[in-house]
Amino acid sequence: MPSPKSDLIVRPALSSDLPALARLGAALARAHHDMDPDRFFVTPSLEEGYEWWLGKERGNRKAIVLAAVRRARGRERVVGYAYGRLEPRDWNTLREKCGVGIDLMVEPQARGRGIGGRLVAELLRRLAAKGAPRIVIQVAHRNRAAQRVFSHLGFRSTMLEMTMETGGLRKDEAPSTSSVARRRGSLSRSPRA
């Protein structure tokens, strides 16, 4: 009987994998949206958008799109994917040339078996082979499980994205402690500097 790891392969995604990758990508987008609907958008056509985008990125020489595929009884089933790209120096974020890990998603019923780690390891290997001196990722603030996984794999925290909605501000008003507190309805809940 094959071991749980021997029936799983991580390989470059094929065009035939795109519907499964799109389903996983849409699930990832919805999970982020559920965490913070003001920050993360969703559209009615997420699956179509992901299928188009990941299909396009498969042909981008700077991108890596991987599929984790479980083989059983002569059939293959995609159970996860990873997507990243080689990016140039970015003056806006003061980020040197690097590989950027963009998406990592494993089907919920397949988690806890090392699939995510294998996807990340292969993504790192392939981005390094393309010349990436380091890999940068973003993890949702509320996704503590993913933060633990990436920390365990050797990633370190470098930045914290913070977001504020401006809908309650007057056009001539700059954000201040009192305007934020007014929007929240209480001065006692205003942030400390």
Instruction: Please report, in tens digits, the pLDDT of each residue of the chain (193 residues total).
Output: 344 445 999 999 999 999 999 999 999 999 999 999 999 999 999 999 999 999 999 999 999 999 999 988 888 999 999 999 999 999 999 999 999 999 999 999 999 898 999 999 999 999 999 999 999 999 988 888 889 889 988 999 999 889 988 877 767 766 666 555 555 554 444 444 4
**Residue 3 confidence (pLDDT):** 47
- 129/24 Cα distance (integer angstroms): 26
The topology (CATH level 3) of 8-162 is Aminopeptidase (3.40.630)
pLDDT of residue 149: 86
Query: Residue 192: its pLDDT value, please?
Result: 46
**What type of residue is 23?**
R
Q: What single-letter DSSP state applies at residue 95?
A: B
How far is 115 from 64, CA to CA, in rounded Å?
Answer: 17
Taking the CA of residue 157 as centre, how many other CA atoms within 13 Å lie in the half-sphere pointing to its CB? 10
- Of 115, 49, 112, 55, the C-alpha closest to 81 is 115
Would you state the pLDDT for residue 174?
Answer: 67
Tell me the C-alpha distance between 86 and 97, whole Å. 8
pLDDT, residue 164, reads 86
Query: According to the model, what pLDDT value does residue 112 have?
Result: 87
pLDDT at position 180, please? 55
Domain boundaries, the chain: 8-162, 163-193
Measured between alpha carbons, how far is 96 from 90 in angstroms, rounded to an integer? Answer: 6
Residue labelled with tokens 């080689």: 86
The pLDDT of residue 65 is 98
